[in-house]
Chain A
Amino acid sequence: MKKVLHILFSLTLAFLLLSCHKESDRIFKRSEFLMDTIVTVTVVSSSAEDADRAMNRVFQELKQMESLLNFFSTTSEISVINNAAGKHPVRVSDTTYNLLSLAREISEKTEGNFDITVGVISHLYDFLKKSHPSDSDINRLLPLVGYKKMELNSDKKDVFLQLKGMMIDPGGITKGYAADRAVEILKAEGIKAALVAVAGDIRGYGLKPDGKGWIVGIKDPRDSSEEGVFAILELRDMAISTSGDYQRFFIENGTLYHHIIDPKTGKPAKGLISVSVVGPKAAYTDALATALFVKGSVKGIKMVEALGYSAIIVDNKGEIHFSEHLKKMLKLLKHRISGSLED
C-alpha cells in the first residue's frame, strides 16, 4: 500500500512539473511587409491569444501609420504637405505632427546633419534605374533644403513648407518612430518583453524566457550575405539603428552613389561606411544614425553622446570605433572590415 502511495505521489509531482510549463513564457514571432520593408514583432507571453491580440494591434496601427507617412503615396499626409508647399499650411494628424516635430528637434540638435527637407533632392536618386541628379539640378534645388523653412504650428497642428517645390521625406525617421509606437502598444497590451524590428531599426524591452536580453547583430557593411554581422550586443530596454552606404547604392564610373544624402551638398555623404546608434528611443537612433553618417567623421560620435546615445562606426578604411559606454555590451566578431562593395 505504502509503495502504491509513493508511486502515486511521484506521478502527481511529475504531472505538476509538466503542467506548470503550460503557463510558462514562450516566444511568438510574426513578420509582415509594411513600410516598404519587413516588420518583425517578437513577443514573450504565456498565452498565444494575448500575443496574437497585441501583435494584431501593432500591425493594424503600423498600416495606418504607413498610409499617413508614405512619401510615395499620393494620398498620404506627407504628399498633401508637399503639394501645398509655398501655398498654404496643412492640418495633419497627431501621428504626422509628432513625427515632424521630432524630426525638426533632431535637425536642430544635429546642426542640420539630419534634415527631412532633403527629400527634394534625395528622391532624384533612383537606385533601381541607377540614375542621379546632375550638378546643375542639385545646385538649383539646394535652396529648397532647410528644416528651418518647415513651419510647425502646435496650436493648429498644421505644417507649412515655406517655398514652392520644397519636399519632406521622413524616411530617415519613420521606421524608428514606428518601432517606438509598436513598443508603446505592446506595453499597453501587457506584453512584458518584446523586440520590434522595422527593417534595421530595432527596439527591445524586457527579457527573453531564458533571462537574457535581446541579442542583436550589426550587419557587416562589406559582407553581401544576409546574415553577415561584425558585432553583436545585448539590448535591454534599448533601441538600435544602422545607416550604411551598402543599403541602397550603385556604382557609376567608379563613383559610389548611395542613399544617404548630405543636406548641405545634395550628394551622398562621404567618410564613413556604416554607423549604428544605440539608445532609449528608436526614432532617435534612426535619425541620429543618418546624422552621424552625414557628419562623416569619427569625431561626430561626440554629437550623439551629448544627446545620451552611443555609436558604433566603421570608417572608410574599415576601422571600427565605438563609444566607451558600449565597451561592456558590445562583442566584436571582427576587428576590421575588409572587402569592397560590388554592384
Chain B
Amino acid sequence: MHRKDRGLIKELLKQTTPYDWLLLFFLIIVSLSGLISMKKFLPSGSLVTIEVEGREVYKLSLFQDRTVEIKGPIGTTVVEIKGQRVRIVESPCPNKICIKQGWISRGAIVCLPNRVVVTVGSGETTGGIDAITR
C-alpha cells in the first residue's frame, strides 16, 4: 500500500511542469498578502492608557503631545507622549529599566517598583465589540 503511494507521488512529481510550481508560488503569495491585509484591518493603536497599582489614571490620545506626572507608591513617574510615541522620562525606581525601554508606539512599558503600567492600544474592547453603551 505504502509502496504504491510512493510510486504515485514519484509519478506525480515526474509530471510536474514549471507551471505547477508557478501556481504553487502564486498561491503562497496570495495567502501571504491575505495575512498582510488582515493586519491592515486591525485598528491602529492610538490610545495610551496609564495605570497605577491596577487602577486606570489616564486615557490619552497618542496623537496629542503632552507630558503627565503620575504619583505611584514610591514617587512620581513622568510619562511623555510625543510624535505618536510614548516613553517614561523620569522614574523613582532604582534600576530605571522603564526609562531604558525608550519610546514605544505599541505594546507596554511596565515600572514594577512604582506600579506604573503604560499601554498603547486601540482602546478596543473584548470579543469584537466596537463600543459599549452604558
Q: Are A219 and B40 in contact (CB under 8 A)?
A: no
Kindly supply a per-residue 1/0 record for chain B positions 14-50, scoring 1 wherever the CB is within 8 Å of any chain A CB and 0 otherwise.
0000110010011001100100110011111011000
Interchain CB contact (< 8 A) of B41 among A10, A209, A227: A209
Consensus secondary structure, chain B interface = mixed
Q: Judge if B64 is at the interface, Cβ distance under 8 Å.
A: yes
Chain B neighbourhood of A232, CB < 8 A: 129
**Residues A26 and B61 in contact in the complex (CB < 8 Å), given A21-B33, A195-B131:** no
Chain B neighbourhood of A21, CB < 8 A: 33, 36-37, 40
Q: Are B133 and A217 in contact (CB under 8 A)?
A: yes
Chain B neighbourhood of A214, CB < 8 A: 130-131
Kindly supply a per-residue 1/0 record for chain A positions 6-36, scoring 1 wherever the CB is within 8 Å of any chain B CB and 0 otherwise.
1100100110011001001011111111000
Q: Give Cα A227 to B19, complex, Å.
A: 52
Chain A nearest CB, measured from B18 CB (Å) = 6
Residue of B nearest to A234 (CB): B130
Q: Give Cα A30 to B122, complex, Å.
A: 8
**Residues A52 and B18 in contact in the complex (CB < 8 Å), given A195-B130, A229-B129:** no
Chain B neighbourhood of A27, CB < 8 A: 41-44
Chain B neighbourhood of A38, CB < 8 A: 59
Q: Are B133 and A200 in contact (CB under 8 A)?
A: yes
Q: Are B128 and A215 in contact (CB under 8 A)?
A: yes
Q: Are A31 and B59 in contact (CB under 8 A)?
A: yes
Number of A-B contacts (CB under 8 A): 115
Q: Judge if A202 is at the interface, Cβ distance under 8 Å.
A: yes
| Residues 207-225 of A contacting B (Cβ, < 8 Å) | 208-210, 214-219
Q: Give Cα A14 to B37, complex, Å.
A: 13
Q: Judge if A42 is at the interface, Cβ distance under 8 Å.
A: yes
Chain B neighbourhood of A197, CB < 8 A: 131, 133
Q: Are B41 and A3 in contact (CB under 8 A)?
A: no
**Residues A215 and B134 in contact in the complex (CB < 8 Å), given A24-B37, A38-B59, A209-B41:** no
Residue of B nearest to A13 (CB): B26
Interchain CB contact (< 8 A) of B43 among A3, A10, A28, A240: A28
| Residues 41-81 of A contacting B (Cβ, < 8 Å) | 42, 48, 52
Q: Give Cα A24 to B129, complex, Å.
A: 22
Residue of B nearest to A7 (CB): B22
Q: Judge if B132 is at the interface, Cβ distance under 8 Å.
A: yes
Interchain CB contact (< 8 A) of A219 among B22, B30, B133: B133
Q: Judge if A244 is at the interface, Cβ distance under 8 Å.
A: yes
Q: Are B63 and A10 in contact (CB under 8 A)?
A: no
Q: Judge if B95 is at the interface, Cβ distance under 8 Å.
A: no
Chain A neighbourhood of B63, CB < 8 A: 30, 52
Q: Are B133 and A29 in contact (CB under 8 A)?
A: no
Q: Are A241 and B133 in contact (CB under 8 A)?
A: yes
Chain B nearest CB, measured from A27 CB (Å) = 4
Kindly supply a per-residue 1/0 record for chain A positions 232-260, scoring 1 wherever the CB is within 8 Å of any chain B CB and 0 otherwise.
10000000111010010000000000000
Q: List 27 A-B pairs, Cβ < 8 Å.
A: A7-B22, A13-B26, A14-B29, A17-B30, A18-B33, A21-B37, A21-B40, A26-B43, A28-B44, A28-B46, A29-B43, A29-B46, A29-B123, A30-B47, A31-B46, A31-B59, A38-B59, A42-B131, A48-B44, A195-B130, A199-B134, A200-B134, A217-B133, A219-B132, A229-B129, A240-B133, A244-B134
- List 4 A-B pairs, minimum CB-CB distance, nearest first: A219-B134, A14-B29, A200-B134, A27-B43
